[in-house]
Amino acid sequence: MSASRVLVAIACVAGVAGCNPRPSAPESRAEYFVEKFIREPQAADDLRAVTQLADGRSPDDLVTDLATRTAVTYLRDRARLGAKLGFHVAGMAQATAGNMKVNVVVNEGVVVGAADEVRFEVEMQKSGQDWRVTRLHAE
């Protein structure tokens, strides 16, 4: 193997090893959480890694009201049935220093602003250098 190929292989491995699959910006992390929460609810360790949960608690514990539970159940069922769901950040606001609210919209297909979209408010808290999800609420 030539020296240039070895260098390219090392650069690729180093790039992949240094890449964190979980985004760190609050808006990206909120969107990541909602999408993973809907599409892969069984990925509890991945979800727990971006949340502010005590040991032994489930990511589902972040949903505290019936409307949000209903929206999550509906979207999980639609995803399981093969619906093409779109996820995007629709806005964010800093509530207080170290606390953020990010609005994530989920819709079926690619039509933004469609009547069948579901809006989530993702509450986040700064924990060290990371933003952690503390609550999920359907609007």
HEC readout, the chain: CCHHHHHHHHHHHHHHHCCCCCCCCHHHHHHHHHHHHHHCCCCHHHHHCCECCCCCCCHHHHECCHHHHHHHHHHHHHHHCCCCEEEEEEEEEEEECCEEEEEEEEEECCCCCCCCCEEEEEEEEEECCEEEEEEEEEC
Both structure tokens of 92:
């964010």
Find the largest Cα–Cα distance for the chain: 61
d(CA 27, CA 82): 26
pLDDT tens readout for residues 3-24: 444 334 444 433 433 444 556 6
Q: Residue 53: which domain range?
A: 22-138
The answer as to whether 72 is a domain residue is yes
Is 103 a residue whose pLDDT tops 90?
yes
pLDDT at residue 7, rounded to an integer = 38
The answer as to whether 82 is a domain residue is yes
Q: What CATH number should be reported for the domain holding residue 104?
A: 3.10.450.50
The answer as to whether 77 is a domain residue is yes
Number of compact structural domains in the chain: 1
The answer as to whether 99 is a domain residue is yes
The answer as to whether 98 is a domain residue is yes
Report, as an integer, the average pLDDT of 34-63.
93
pLDDT at residue 116, rounded to an integer = 76
